[in-house]
Structure formats: C-alpha cells, structure tokens
A and B are shown apart, each in its own frame.
Chain A
Amino acid sequence: MAKKVAVVGIGHSKFGKRPDVTIRELAHEAVFPALEDAGLSAQDIDAVVVGVAGDEFAAQGSCAAVINDYIGMQGKPLYRVEAACATGSAAVRTAWALINSGLAETVLVVGAETMTHVGTPRATELMAKAGDTRWEYPFGVTFPAFYALMATAHMHQYGTTREQLSMVSVKNHKYGAMNPYAHLRKEITLEEAMKSVMICYPLNLYDCCLISDGAAAAVLASEEKAKKLTDTPVWIIGLGAASDNMMIAERESLTSLKATRLAAEQAYKMARIKPEEIDVAVVHDCFTIAEIMAYEDLGFCKKGEGGKFIEEGQSYIGGKIPVNIDGGLKSKGHPLGATGVSMTVEITRQLRGEAGKRQVEGAEIGLSHNIGETGQYCFVHIYKR
C-alpha cells in the first residue's frame, strides 16, 4: 500500500509573452506564492524537483541549478526532470515518489519554460527536432503535422469533423477568458475558429496551442506533514505513466495514443475509481484533435465518439466531465515544463473550491493528463480532496 501524498501549496505565474523576465524570475513568481500557500519557508523544504523541457529555449544550460539558486534553495537535494511537453507531470510524479519512498517529507516542484524569447520560427524548429531526426525530420514534419496526421486518420475512421475540432477550441477559449493566469484571454466564435489560417490541414491556427512563457509550482507533502499544514489537502490517489514508439508511422494506431490508455489504466486501478467518477479533468490539448483523442483514451466516452462528446457539450461545466476549464494548453498557454505542474495547480484549485467562476460545484475527484511529444510520454494523476 502506497503512503499518502498530498498537494499542500500551489503557485502560478501569469502565462504569456514575457519579455520582462527570464526563466529564473518566472520560476520565482510561482514558487513563493506556493510556499506561502503551504505556510512554509525555504528551510522547511526537503528537496526540489525542477521541470524544464529545453535549455535551448532559455539559452541557459542547467536551468534547474539556476532556478534553485535564485529561489534560495542552495544545499537541498535538487533534481532536474525532463519529459518533453510532459516534463511538469514527470516532475510531480518524481516528487510523489521521493515522499513515498521516505527520502523526503516535503518537496517543492517547479515547472518553468521561456519559449517566446527565441522567436516563432526558431521555436518551431526546436520542436520539430523532437521528432525522429533520422527518418521524420528529413521530410519537414512539424509538431502540429504529427497531430494533423492523427486528425486525418481519425476523421477518416470515425467521421470526426473539422467543426468538432474547432468546438474544442471555442470551449477552451471560453474558460481561458475567465482565467487570470491564461495567455490568450479571449472568447472566440465557432466561425472565427473555423476560418482562421490553415497551419497544416486539417489543423488551423485555432486548433493549435500557444507558444508561451510561464511557470507553476506545487508543494507536496507526506500524510503526517500535510495534516499539520492544512485543512484542505488534495491527495494524489492514483498515478500512471507509459511511453510509445518514437516514430508515429510505426505505432499500432494513428487514432489513439497507447501511452494514454496504459497510463490511465494504471491510474484508475491505483485510485480504485472508474472514469465516470471523475468530476473535473485537465487533459493535454496541444492540438484540438489531442483533446478529442484524450476523451476517448481516458474512457470519458467510447472510442470514436470524442467528436460527439464535445459537440454535445459534455466537456463543459454541466456536462458529463468538464475538461480544461482553465483554458487548456490552447488558451492558457503551453510553456512546456510548466504545463504539467499548472495542471496540478488547477485540479488542486478545483478540489479546494477556489476556482471562482470556473468552479465545478462539489468537485471531489480530479484527473490530469499530460502528453510528452506526440505520445512518447504520458502521465496521468488522479486527485481527491
């Protein structure tokens, strides 16, 4: 039986274009509110786990060491975790494991990334290089293109439509507009989403997440510590993680992410719950098709019915399972290393009842789902208040 681990403190920087700061200052913006929220100071922290996906974005090697110093954690055990776009969730999982193993009682998790400082063409190039540089990059496959391939396969196999893809974007923008930390706080209409510029068919601009700067932080603690620190601990009751083939052509399916299915199965089993018991979820919507596949692979609906799920409004507040009501990667932004930690922050907020206008009334069980690259990594965490 695994020991209990809780989230006891959360902090979040404003996501967006942040030429005013570098990665160290961004991390600071998230860390100190998280420590304050937990009622702790630096000396109470046993270890620090930093998630940064790419040093090239920050133009700084060993970003974790720079951040650790800047936030005054010199002397603590320090870990740098990387899992592409799932870096933040890998960091949360690492912190959980440190506490569960007894190596630490209280761990600070920091996820941070600056992506806009290098400019969009360079950022696109850096992300494209995350594909297989021997057999995929030589054909100029961009990051959205990998998901576009899955989208045409999904549309062909299940009749999913471009309109349904756009509906995901409309929903996430609606909620992102209500989130003060979101990058693009703007509601959009279905028509605007449908008519935006084509990036790679069938994905247009509003099907793609943003390139953002941002940081998020969380303090995790053992059961004994958590009970002393707060009346509202949010327990991590299930975890799952999995991986998949590097080259997408080689995968058994182009319409489903195996890593999600495997990770979700482990997490549901550990938490002893079924998908329909989830009250609120944040899922990896780097592209709208990814959210539709996540509904299916996480068991929120049947395989092939993800398009119908959004069309019926089932992922809105009031629907079967509200999804990405913090704006998702689409509207809140996707600073790679920060994203997974930001997901933990949002679910914690929801389960504490602190999400304001975006609150899912009475939410008790939450789920976060974070994909690295195009399914080469997946982490699923389940939380309970």
Chain B
Amino acid sequence: MKFGYASWLPETNMMRKFTEELANGRLMGTKCKKCKTKYMPPRIQCRCGSTDMEWYEAPKKGKLLAYTIIMYPPESMQKYAPYIVAVAELEDGTRLLSHIVGVTPKTLKVGMPIEVSISKVSEDRITYKFKPST
C-alpha cells in the first residue's frame, strides 16, 4: 500500500509499517526512547541522534490551525481539484497536514474541532484526512 494521493519515494520499511497500521485504523507515530520526543508523522531516527525509537498510537482528535482551498493543483493532482488542505493540532500537541473533507467554505473555520479519518484513495493507496468532529 502506498501513502497519499501522489508519491514516488521508495516504500521503506517504516512506510510499510505506517500504511499497514493505517489500513487497520491506527494512526501511528514514533517516539524517541532516549529524549522522549514524539514524531507525527513518524521518523526512524531522532533529531537528538538516537536511533532507539518506538511506535505509539496517536490521538485522532484535534483542532484546525490553518487551511487553504486549492483551485490550481500540480499536474499529478488535477483529478482531485478543488481540494482543501489543512494543518491541525492533535490532542497530544503534534501537528499534521492533510486534506479536510465534509466541510464547505462557509463551515470551514480556524479553531474548529476535527478528527482524523482513514480512507483508501485507490486500490493501492491509503491516506489520512480530517473531517469535522462533534
């Protein structure tokens, strides 16, 4: 399973684990065992230099920090346009960028509560996205 709407980087072990967990409904980040820094999205090496990392399940609820409605996408994203890209802060303070669905330009507001939902983009592609939360 590949990640997101378009990508070309190799499917590393980390990405295979990440998308496999996504397919099972879990949004997973990594945490450094040495300095305790959390990474969402995940990394396999820490900025402190440590490679001693563990996976953790990230919270799916959070709030919207910023958004934009993209009318002119890059070539590879033409068929999805227009789409809304947003940055959200999850309940544990980590931040994520993704699309937001289930909103209109009128209902879209910075600060609104959101939750992360997981869905397939196509047969071989999976992604996380935001939707409004109650």
- Identify the A interface with B (CB < 8 A): 121-122, 124-125, 128, 133-142, 145, 148-153, 155-156, 197-203, 247-250, 254
From A152, A156, A248, give the contact of B97 (CB < 8 A).
A248
Given A145-B68, A145-B70: A125 and B75 interface contact (C-beta under 8 Å) = yes
Beta-carbon contact of A135 and B97 below 8 Å? yes
A200 to B41, CA, bound (A): 25
Beta-carbon contact of A249 and B87 below 8 Å? yes
Q: Which residue of B lies closest to A141 (CB)?
A: B85
Beta-carbon contact of B69 and A200 below 8 Å? yes
From B4, B67, B69, B75, give the contact of A139 (CB < 8 A).
B4
Known: A198-B69, A249-B97. 18 other contacts (CB 8 A): A122-B75, A124-B74, A124-B75, A139-B85, A139-B97, A140-B5, A140-B73, A141-B97, A145-B85, A149-B66, A149-B68, A151-B68, A199-B72, A201-B68, A201-B69, A202-B68, A247-B97, A254-B65
From B41, B65, B105, give the contact of A153 (CB < 8 A).
B65
A145 to B5, CA, bound (A): 16
CB of B9, distance to nearest CB on chain A (Å)? 6
A128 to B75, CA, bound (A): 10
- Identify the B interface with A (CB < 8 A): 3-9, 41, 65-77, 80-81, 83, 85-87, 95-99, 105, 110-111, 127
A interface, over-half SS: helix
Given A136-B97, A140-B77, A198-B71: A149 and B110 interface contact (C-beta under 8 Å) = no
Beta-carbon contact of A199 and B71 below 8 Å? yes
Enumerate 8 A-B pairs (CB-CB under 8 Å) in ascending A order.
A124-B74, A135-B41, A138-B5, A139-B127, A140-B83, A152-B110, A156-B111, A254-B87
